[in-house]
A and B are shown apart, each in its own frame.
Chain A
Amino acid sequence: MTAYLAGRILALIPVLLVVGAVVFGLTRFTPGDPVRVLLGEDARPEQVQALRRHLGLDRPLVVQFGLWVARAVRGDLGVSYFNRLPVRWIIAQHLGPTVMLALLAITVALCIGIPVGVVSALFRNSWLDQASLALALLGAAVPSFWLGLSLIVVFAVGLGWLPSSGFKPLTEGLWPSVRHLLLPALALGLPNSALIIRFVRSSLLDVISADYVRTARAKGLAERVVIFRHALRNALVPILTVVGLTFAALMGGAVVTETVFAIPGIGQLVVSSVLRRDYPVIQGVTLVVTTSYVMINLVVDLLYLAVDPRVKY
């Protein structure tokens, strides 16, 4: 087990190196110059040159990459070209909103996905199943920006129940913070629930026809106990996989939703950094997101152990 864990974590090193190199290359070979974005349209060539030297952008690419790796190994992700703040600090600032939003969105997705999926499996081929299929298709098909804007129009502009945008950190109280994230969590959670509905339905159907479920029914257990204690528990492994993948994807920043709701999360940070060509931030975020993706997958793999005793590492 320890060897397995150590192996998984050590495997992160080559992954991060490759991702770091690819992102470094992509940012440098994409047209666009951070210095010109920073100085504005009318900057004179000599000013552009001076700032480029100042930021170390005039050095050969190999040297720039080497310096970046040498610092990153020590946990120093450099300094943003724009606000001159440490990249580590900037990422930490943006991680909070994204984690909160991801947790809320996954909660929304589960609260919808599991009950609807269960009902859909239990009443297979009934009108309830058809309705859940329609809901899932709609959820998967609706673009998140449209859903987000529609939620704003209805719940913020029309009814005035919830704020239309922005973010309040937890330090300003749990309710103000959650209130600001409810609409974006819905906008993200609804489409993600579609996948969960379908997965819960199909894995539950697999399990329901298994022998031990028939046995449980035969020995006179209440249907509630059969479904929740026996069937659903055994259907959990594939569901866990989907939830893990969805959560990991959300941690990479829900770019569109964060932009629509002006949430200062990782997604917004990536977009604004790419548009400005803020190389140190783009590289830093990629490393952090890659690490969290790998770690979430690791946690999911470990959760299999808890859910299914047959799994051994």
Chain B
Amino acid sequence: MSRQSLASRDSNLGLPETCLSFEIRGPWAHFRRVEGNIVKQTYRIPPRTTVAGIVAAMLGLERDGYYDAFGPGSSRVAIEPVGELRTMNVPQNTLSTANEHLKTVPSRGHTRISMPDPTELRQQHNYELIVDPAYRIDLQLADDDLFERFRDRLESGTSYYPPSLGLSEHLAEVEFLGSFDVQEHDPETVRVDSAVVNATDSIEVEPEKRVRVERAPGYMAADEGGRTTTDFLSVGYSPAGESLLVADAATAHVDGRRVMFS
């Protein structure tokens, strides 16, 4: 399923042959896994939708207004963890969001918002945080205007909204690495530097070599009520930040590295 969909995507993309590469890092990150709300576990690799959100934030795009620009036909993203991915359990004091603890202001009228009451007692919850995360992102965008605007942002080191890693309190640094040609390769058995997308069963399993997998939102769409995920992606990666050997993998050459785009 995985390789087929990648191949079909390749052929119908009207994407430029160049990608923008940047590194994003920070002291902490938390990308909440969708299967938990009581527990606060994190993905180790930022979901593709999160990367899109970070870029959109740097560009100052409107909420729910950028999903098409980052859709499967109009963008490609490769994510490579730089260095080891280490997590830590960090208890945090949080406000209850149970109904009885929510404060609605103003108390009457049409336009009211609910928020946790800051005068309430805090509850302690354990957050799984990534420590010192760093990722290299390679991004292709079909929308020339957005692509150039983003290049300008990266070159000038500016951002419309402050970029963060998952939660707003985990601020991120962004470093522009340059624009690079993307050279496609036919499927082959090769060491892949980026996270392996939708081909986890093609990763060569070696005893005592650590390979991790996770499944996270890949693409989103807006509807009248909000937004939904339109596709989930499975990624495989090495927690030590090493490359993985993948059989029959459709990869691309970027800046001397082999990456898998999604």
Do they bind each other? Answer: no
Residues of B within 8 A of A (CB): none
Residues of A within 8 A of B (CB): none
